[in-house]
Amino acid sequence: MSLSNTSLLTSDSFVRNDDLTPQKKIDGLNAIVKANHFGMLTTVSPSGEVHSRCMAPASTEGLVFQFLANNASYKFDEIQANANVNLSFIDTSTTNWASIAGRATISRDQAQIDKLWSPFVAGYFSDLGDGIHKGDKNDPRVSIINVTPTEIRYWVSTSTAVGRAVEHAKGAVTGKLTAPGEIRTITPEELQLVFGLNKAH
């Protein structure tokens, strides 16, 4: 197998597929995100520690991930100190996963909060009884975290659960690499194209 080939078998037994169109790659990513709406948002503290927490995006429109969250939490301090974040999702039924590197910004746009608000989000905000922090969409604690991807990598299984088990067993016996899935990358250039098209509309 030539190293110049765009589909390479890696040491992790994955095929790297660089031949798909940007839209095909975006469709594959969206399938993983929708399969398990909860993901992990990872931030870096001012002193360098890496912290992750489970969150559900309120919107993924245009490949910008938006989260409604309590601005009194540590993650807001960390984003303000370092805007570089990571989002990760996994579909446990297939083992497909996605890792999204991006930059985060914080917004208190009330019109956008109104648009994204849902009873599900309300469950994360309590009424403090002061007439201001009422746990509704007008609560000043409610803010939006916008994550704009800078590069996306994800893995998709290309075999069934039974097929993966068989291939792993073969690999254990023969010592030969198996390729139960493929790695796909949505490059910074492809993302800029997507964002440019969204702005045009």
Is position 123 within any domain?
A: yes
Residue 14 lies in a domain: no
Question: DSSP readout, 169-187?
Answer: HHHHHH------EEEEEE-
Q: Map residue 81 onto helix, strand or coil.
A: helix
Domain presence at residue 12? no
Residue 11 forms part of a structural domain: no
The reply to whether 69 falls in a domain is: yes
CATH value at residue 69: 2.30.110.10
* Number of compact structural domains in the chain: 1
Q: Is residue 17 part of a domain?
A: no
Position 74, amino acid: Y
Per-residue pLDDT of 29-70, as tens digits, reads 999 999 988 999 999 999 999 999 999 999 999 999 999 999
| Higher-confidence position of 195 and 201 | 195
pTM: 0.81
**Beta strands in 11-95, from DSSP E residues, in sequence order:** 14-17, 39-44, 50-55, 65-70, 84-91
Q: Where are the beta strands (DSSP E) in 38-180?
A: 39-44, 50-55, 65-70, 84-91, 96-107, 142-157
Q: Which residues contact 140 (CB under 8 A, 6 or more apart)?
A: 132, 133
- CB atoms under 10 Å from CB of 153, counted, come to 16
Residue 3 pLDDT > 50, yes or no? no
pLDDT of residue 191: 94
Is residue 46 a part of any domain in this protein? yes
Q: What is the extent of the structural domain holding 61?
A: 25-161
Q: Is position 193 within any domain?
A: no
